[in-house]
Amino acid sequence: MIIVKETSTTTYLQGQIVDENVEFTLVELSRVSGASEEELTLWVSEGVVEPAGERPQEWRFSGTVLRRVQTAQRLAHDFQINPPGIALALDLLDEIDLLRSHVKRARGS
């Protein structure tokens, strides 16, 4: 746990560190992320996340998918965005991250 002190209040931040080499089954990813198996299955069909494996019983998700699923879940629940909209929003967020990394590299050169 990280404690960040601000003037007269204490703010607690909570996070998870997940190794990229970790693999989750559909059930495990559902438990860890808080998203339902139905949501995850729908997001797979929309291309929000891409598992290894042919059928849901065989699906394996990398550790890096957890952050994407948590973002998808916030978009769905907080903003009532439908699955195709979530896929689009996440693609745009990925593009923004890529552009920021290009700018950062260009400034460092």
Amino acid at position 82, single letter = N
Coil vs helix vs strand at 98: helix
pLDDT of residue 13: 46
Alpha-carbon distance of 63 to 83, in angstroms, equals 21
The residue extents of the domains of the chain are: 18-104
Please say if the pLDDT value at position 76 is more than 80: yes
pLDDT for the residue 108 = 83
Distance CA 76, CA 65 (A): 16
CATH for the stretch 18-104 = 1.10.1660.10
User: 96: pLDDT confidence band, cut at 50, 70 and 90?
Assistant: very high
Report the alpha-carbon distance of residue 16 to residue 59 in Å, rounded. 22
Q: What is the pTM of this model?
A: 0.76
Contacts of 50 (CB under 8 A, 6+ apart): 44
